Chain A
């Protein structure tokens, strides 16, 4: 399927949309709007994942990230009633933003040395008839079984923590 003009066009389209959405997300004064632009970025990323032969992860991205995590964010934003008054914007002053931008560009410049890295050739695309979960299951449940189990403890800690912190003050 890959490597046609349409493919490349779509790839750039999703990539640039992700970047533009992210930039808008960072600059929105309204928290709700910002969160929604971030959701947009995540959708674009999901599309990129799928286009890079990681269909399962793409689906998870939509379900978990855009679907679950961001909804919780929005929920908290709404709960704390932060969405509305744009007059008390929590964004920093213009000077601060410009300096931050300069720092960001400097960091980007330092990261651009990555372009000089020689990378090995890409793997062949998976045959179309393979199930999208197959390539993942092997490493996930064999090689990385231990990390997988650790994430369960991690989630347990998060649950306990959320309960402990959110309990009413005694």
Chain B
């Protein structure tokens, strides 16, 4: 049983051990990467070491989780919600790097720094998931985002990648302005940036007389909505996802979204439960619009990466339903959902990499036609991912339960969100139209005569794709253990909420 007193710097750094290991390790890798002439072999070495480093960090997290680490209320949280999301983020990191190793070979990219940047971005995400202070939220988001801006444009030969990077950067910086203004106004209204302290000041009774607080919450919500790509703040998503290198796209779709959602959950659960009446309307509409628009626009997409981009928007909508539910079940549903979604989405992008040709060609739906006849296992894995995203039981593995829990959370809310639940089910019925289009193309269309011969699937992609599919299927049949874990990972998020512990005196003085 570890317990940290976060007001002591030494103990604070111990509580941040995983982040420290990851960041310091990344810096060491940077030294290796920068040492001497850059070569393909060196880049691969760095990539491998980055995977090892992520695994070490995961081991540390698991160790700290198992040893029941606790902490006094402070600037960061030490709870299982953090550990759980960190693990998801690190899984996404490992998948990204593994896919990146293959991708670099296909596209003939040599950039060892890419892997270091991925690690540093992940460190930023992990800080974000642990942040219990709005300034930490801001810095975590920025660390993550700036690294991802760079990663999107890391393929210097590609004009599309540069454009994706620019669009993401400009709009991201723009949204950061709103986020920061929101933080400023919340600070101005409550005199603190500490979530628990804010939570004590934000009560349903006084919220009406605090317009500054309301405006602050609104702008903070805008900042988060941009990061999770909620409609109407989603418009960068398809362009950036299409233009960015595919492993980075997968990283954005999974890890960035997971981290931003984790922060959104924590902030909303710890700081603003008292303002439910104020934010409910806006979040409700965000969730509804995101589900509807994301799903409908996805129907007409022919480029797989764009289709998956709209799909990721739609899934952000489903997750927003869990935010609106604003209960413990919602947070548990989020953890389950985000793992299922991460595996399915990243696996799908892995298949896209395996099917694609150098120069990011052959990413149209038609290029998947008849995949079953040439790569049956790849097609089967892709079918699992599509069905998981669709939320189909058994064959879609965890995807079904993911949606199920979100629905449950929505109906379990204090005021059951029946409307959103119905909308969720309806829009996911709609989503069959585009997910099944992929399945149909793979299994029921002949391979076009001029389709290029597929490259052999390389080991990292192979491992990533099949491991994801197997995990999805396994937890789809036996979700029990994992859901228990997810549910138990929730309560501590509110352990430091106003009623449970006195406001901390750490911040804002």
* Chain A residues near B (Cβ < 8 Å): 110-111, 113-114, 116-120, 139, 143-147, 150-151, 153-154, 156-158, 160-161, 163-165, 167, 169-170
Contacts and interface: CB of A to CB of B under 8 A. Distances in A.
Closest 10 CB pairs of A and B: A161-B150, A117-B212, A113-B211, A150-B139, A169-B156, A164-B113, A114-B212, A157-B147, A116-B211, A154-B143
Interface string B205-228: 000011111110000000000000
Given A113-B211, A160-B113, A150 B143 contact: yes
B156 A156 contact: no
A143 B506 contact: yes
A164 B150 contact: yes
A147 B135 contact: yes
Interface of B: 9, 12, 16, 23, 27, 30, 75-76, 110-111, 113-114, 116-117, 120-121, 123-124, 127, 133, 135-136, 139-140, 142-143, 146-147, 149-150, 153-154, 156-157, 165, 185, 188-189, 191, 209-215, 506-509
Contact of A160 (B23, B30, B210, B506): B30
Contacts of B9: 145
A9 B361 CA distance: 63
A144 B211 CA distance: 28
A23 B189 CA distance: 28
Given A150-B143, A157-B120, A170-B110, A143 B215 contact: no
Given A119-B188, A150-B127, A165-B153, 4 more contacts: A145-B12, A147-B139, A150-B124, A158-B146
A116 B12 CA distance: 40
A10 B139 CA distance: 34
A110 B150 contact: no
Nearest to B154: A164
Contacts of B189: 117
Nearest to B158: A169
A119 B211 CA distance: 11
B136 A160 contact: no
B113 A163 contact: yes
A119 to B, nearest CB: 7
Contact of A156 (B120, B157, B185): B120
B139 A151 contact: yes
B127 A165 contact: no
A144 B135 contact: yes
A22 to B, nearest CB: 14
B191 A120 contact: yes
B97 to A, nearest CB: 16
12 contacts: A113-B211, A113-B214, A120-B191, A147-B135, A150-B136, A150-B143, A157-B120, A160-B117, A161-B150, A164-B113, A164-B150, A164-B154
Contact of B23 (A119, A153, A169): A153
Contact of B146 (A118, A139, A154): A154
A153 B508 CA distance: 23
Contact of B210 (A117, A153, A154): A117
A73 to B, nearest CB: 13
B200 to A, nearest CB: 16
A114 B116 contact: no
Contacts of B120: 153, 156-157, 160
The winner among B27, B127, B135, B211 for most chain A CB atoms within 10 A is B211
A161 B212 contact: no
B215 A110 contact: yes
Contacts of A170: 110, 156-157
A146 B16 CA distance: 10
Nearest to A161: B150
Interface centre among B135, B150, B214 (most CB of A within 10 A): B150
Contact of B139 (A139, A154, A164): A154
Contacts of A117: 188-189, 210-213
Nearest to A168: B156
Contacts of B188: 117, 119
Contacts of A158: 146
Contacts of B127: 150
B215 A111 contact: yes
Nearest to B76: A146
Contact of B509 (A119, A120, A139, A146): A139
A116 B136 CA distance: 29
Contacts of A164: 111, 113-114, 117, 150, 154
Contacts of A110: 215
